[in-house]
Amino acid sequence: MSYTKGRRFEYIVKKMLEQDPETILCVRSSGSHGAIDLVRIKLDSTCELYQCKNTKAKSYVPKDDVDLNIIAKVVPTFWAERRMGRTTFTRVVPK
């Protein structure tokens, strides 16, 4: 997938999260190429982190991502995945 398509999907997810009335702030971590693409702060002062994947495959199976597993132990972390035209959110369960 190209950088442009990935960035476009990050903005789609960001807009979806911003439309949720529980969201105070949603920020894209641009240019980092790290484990986290979006940070969301909710009304109840909780923080959620999102990794966005836009794939044509029927199912995206994340690799053993050490960074995400470490982060998910401390902060609620989610996969935002777009496949076959649908966007789904799955919570990362740390190993």
Per-residue pLDDT tens over the stretch 56-71 = 665 555 555 677 888 8
- Three-state helix/strand/coil letters over the chain: CCHHHHHHHHHHHHHHHHCCCCEEEEEECCCCCCCCCEEEEECCCCEEEEEEEEECCCCCCCCCCHHHHHHHCCCCEEEEEEECCEEEEEECCCC
Query: 30: pLDDT confidence band, cut at 50, 70 and 90?
Result: confident
The model's pTM: 0.84
